[in-house]
Structure 1
Amino acid sequence: MVVRAEDAEYVPLPHGGGFTLLTDGGPLGANRLTLGPGAPGARPHFHARSAELFHVLAGTVEFWLDGAVEAVDAGGVVLVPPGSPHAFGATADGPAELLAVLGSGVARFDYFRTLGRVQHGLQPFTDLLPDQDRYDVHFLDHAPGHTRDAGPGARTY
């Protein structure tokens, strides 16, 4: 499979970033995500069947990995195995870009399209909940709204 830049679909996000949808539903899915300064990337969730690899291309991304927060600069890689709770977002000091690669061939482009509408306030977040098994994105009930320690760069996960 070859996906040329001009053929990739772009889903804008309200903070000036967006998803570039690259591959979907084959053995791997991939998207490039640009996040504005301090913008959330994903609320806490896990994938029951899929591993996920993140390569930070620019800026710094703050990852919440099974309860611990880790800042990863450009060039760093994060591998999240199936079943591991995680979330992420750009740090407040600048935009960030990352490549996300997901295993096990789950088609998720419709999920990312819906997520774009949710972030723009065009659909409620609850519209994603009935399809958690379909997209293998299982949101954590206890984590949303949890605020990491206060101070510069405090983030709500």
Structure 2
Amino acid sequence: MVDLNALVVRGEDAERVPLPHGGGFRLLADASGTGGALGANTLALGEGADGARPHFHAVSHELFYVTEGAVDFLLDGDPVTVGEGGLVVVPPRMPHAFGAAPGTTAELLAVLTPGVERFGYFRALGRIQHGLEPFDGLLPEQDRYDVHFVPTAGPWR
């Protein structure tokens, strides 16, 4: 049976998770809201702020669309900078990291497909960034969120 319901998330209704550099996540869609098809969020990054340390997804592709500024990516050890309007698609198991390019702020749309329930992951990252929880608390949750952290795989900050 096909689900004939559309998911509509208005900007003002999206949950926001603030980050200390002035940016933050806007949680748009989790797997449960899309029948497992995808998860989507936006991320605003303060000037030169890291978005994610090196990691990979065992199951999902991750798509990044840069809506503002410029983003430095580390893709399987190779650095690349992508500006506004640029797109990056990372296949499963490819180590990657990203952050606002030095001297710039950035905003991007991230889509993970197939979807994984990850809103809890983004909420935890917000608490970690604000010093309310240790990063190590995420390590036992790597399979649950399909985020597997790796040692720096190249010239990452």
Could you tell me the TM-score, scaled by structure 2's length? 0.91
CA RMSD of aligned residues (A): 1.1
- 1:143 is aligned, of 139, 147, 152, to 152
Give the match for residue 3 of structure 2: none
Give the match for residue 18 of structure 1: 24
Flag as ranges the 4+ runs of structure 1 deviating above 3 A: none
- 1:123 is aligned, of 130, 133, 138, to 133
Alignment of 1:5-154 (within 5 A): 5-25=11-31, 26=34, 27-140=37-150, 142-143=151-152, 148=155
Report the Cα distance in structure 2 between the residues aligned to 1:92 and 1:83, rounded to whole angstroms.
27
Report the Cα distance in structure 1 between the residues aligned to 2:59 and 2:28, rounded to whole angstroms.
20
Structure 1: 5+ residue stretches without partners: 149-154
C-alpha deviation, 1:6, in angstroms: 1.4
Could you tell me the TM-score, scaled by structure 1's length? 0.91
C-alpha deviation, 1:100, in angstroms: 0.2
C-alpha deviation, 1:91, in angstroms: 1.1
Report the Cα distance in structure 2 between the residues aligned to 1:6 and 1:77, rounded to whole angstroms.
25
- Give the counterpart letter for 2:69 in structure 1: G
Query: What SS is found at the alignment partner of 2:131?
Result: coil
- Give the counterpart letter for 2:90 in structure 1: V
Report the Cα distance in structure 2 between the residues aligned to 1:73 and 1:5, rounded to whole angstroms.
23
Query: What SS is found at the alignment partner of 2:8?
Result: coil
- Give the counterpart letter for 2:110 in structure 1: A
Query: What SS is found at the alignment partner of 1:48?
Result: coil
Query: What SS is found at the alignment partner of 1:113?
Result: helix
- Give the counterpart letter for 1:43 in structure 2: R
Report the Cα distance in structure 2 between the residues aligned to 1:64 and 1:92, rounded to whole angstroms.
14
Structure 2: 5+ residue stretches without partners: 1-6
Report the Cα distance in structure 1 between the residues aligned to 2:104 and 2:76, rounded to whole angstroms.
25
Report the Cα distance in structure 2 between the residues aligned to 1:12 and 1:105, rounded to whole angstroms.
23
Q: Can you list the C-alpha shifts for 1:54-79, whole angstroms capped at 9, x where unaligned?
A: 00000000000000100000000000
Identical aligned residues as a percent: 64
